[in-house]
Amino acid sequence: MNTLRLIKYYTGIIALCAIPWSCSNDFLELLPISNTNEVNYYQTEKDFETAIVAAYATLYTEFGPESGAGFCSEQMSDEATVYDVMLDAASFQAFKSYSMLPANTVVLQVWQDEYNNLMIVNTVIEKLRASPLGEQLKTSYEAEMRFLRALYHFNLVRLFGDVPLMKKPIVVDDSYGVLRSPESEVYAFIIEDLQFAADNLPLQSQISTRVGQATKGAALGILGKVYLTVGNKSAAKEALKQVIDSREYELLDNYADLWDLKHENSKEALLEIQHKADPAAPASPYHEYFAPYNNLTISPQGHGLNQVTEDLWNEFEQEDLRRESSILTGYTNKAGNWISVKFPKKWWDPAWINTGSYYSENNFIVLRYADVLLMYAEATDDANYLNQVRNRAGMPRYGEAGYPAQYSTLALAIEHERMVELSLEFHRWFDLKRTGRAATVLSAKKGKPITEQMLVLPIPQVERDINPALTQNTIYR
């Protein structure tokens, strides 16, 4: 379905209720606007609790293993590759090889998912504003939805460049006139939404039951990243300093604990997507998708996505224990033979080997405190915040004896630290783009010239066939 032309003006949402504070039914279907019963919906606090849960469920596709963030940040970077994969292998391979075409089916799915997510969130915002709820509750809920809307636009603009800006639900007849807005306008809208969210969301410590909801710290952390992306270091410093000064967050003592189910929703997490190992709820998909293809031993099958490159393996210093916590080096197949292959460990579920369960519980952390500290070092040129992260890892500090000589500037040191600390967490490609280093680094790593024009995805051809007024990114014309 074409997301801008054929998108239906509806409030129908299938909500998978995995979030602990969600609902009692397995699925909820909110009534379509054409249904006469819809006029009775979106009236009570209970109605909006259901709608908010459905809106948060969009995070599962936004940061899923086959999301735009997952494909681009890993396979288009030097961290991960793909060997054999299920389904449309050519479309998957195009990400790692920079051989993208406008007809790529995965790109189309990413585009449609992004705009479907925005449609759901915008519908809730529109209904909130017209509802009889008290102003304080309306403002609080709107802040949560505008946080999601900003986050999704942030991903969109980093993936595609100029994009249609979705400020409200769009009816079919109006969709032809919703064309690509310049990046500057999209970023201005993102910043406005995040500032509203930061002003009206609760602190992490003020949340008692709704685990996983957006908070003031998450909004400020993403805002800091947005400001860094547009080159406003002073504004980024101000936003990130508020997160640090709030004392709401801290690094866990042990890096490996970040991936231990006993430490989910820890003091290090600013935004964490909730998963539950239950067939009636959104189970964590990362173990299965990132396991070696068709292994049939350590996962039900294995999709073979985001297999680890030698570039990432070698980026870790030899004494860095984070490598052991991040990467597995192989598995024993059914015949008892050891298969050497490097793949992500962070969402590894060894319980599957013992129980054969198809369901994993590993959460996905979108933003954590180590990221904030490294961004603050980037915004301030202050190595102390970089060194807080290295202290936790037990590694030599930047500027002291034993620090790797090849990272001779603070900028290179931060780039290195982000790659190893945040490896495989959907950051690398976005980081290289933000710092202007992508073309240089990736040309060397991919074995072919990578230009700035190649650092955006094509606008899907299906979209442009339906609405020729949608322009195409230069290199794909």
pLDDT score, position 136: 95
pLDDT score, position 40: 63
- What average pLDDT does the segment 137-156 reach? 97
**Structure confidence at residue 154 as a pLDDT band (50, 70, 90):** very high
Pull the structure tokens for residue 154: 């942030």
pLDDT per residue over 359-384, tens digit each? 889 999 999 999 999 999 999 999 99
**Structure confidence at residue 237 as a pLDDT band (50, 70, 90):** very high
pLDDT per residue over 164-191, tens digit each? 999 999 877 778 889 999 999 999 999 9
Q: Please state, in angstroms and rounded to a whole number, the distance separating the CA atoms of residues 224 and 108.
A: 29
Q: For residue 322, what are the domain limits?
A: 287-363
**Structure confidence at residue 34 as a pLDDT band (50, 70, 90):** very low
Contacts of residue 170, defined as CB under 8 A and 6 or more positions apart, other chains included, come to 4, 7, 9, 119, 178
Q: Please state, in angstroms and rounded to a whole number, the distance separating the CA atoms of residues 286 and 366.
A: 14
Please identify, among 363, 396, 420, the residue that sits at the C-terminal boundary of a domain.
363
Q: Please state, in angstroms and rounded to a whole number, the distance separating the CA atoms of residues 380 and 374.
A: 10
Q: Would 20 be classed as within a structural domain?
A: yes
Pull the structure tokens for residue 296: 């049939």
Q: Would 315 be classed as within a structural domain?
A: yes
CB hemisphere CA count around 183 (13 angstroms)? 13
pLDDT score, position 461: 97
- pLDDT(10) > 50: no
Q: Would 439 be classed as within a structural domain?
A: no
- Residue 108 CA, chain-centre distance (Å), reads 18
- What average pLDDT does the segment 291-314 reach? 93
pLDDT score, position 202: 96
- pLDDT(332) > 70: yes
Q: How many domains, in total, are found in the chain?
A: 2
Q: Are residues 162 and 307 in the same domain?
A: no
**Structure confidence at residue 85 as a pLDDT band (50, 70, 90):** low
* H or E stretch covering 203: none
pTM: 0.92
Please identify, among 317, 337, 363, the residue that sits at the C-terminal boundary of a domain.
363
The proportion of the chain whose per-residue pLDDT surpasses 70, expressed as a percent, equals 90
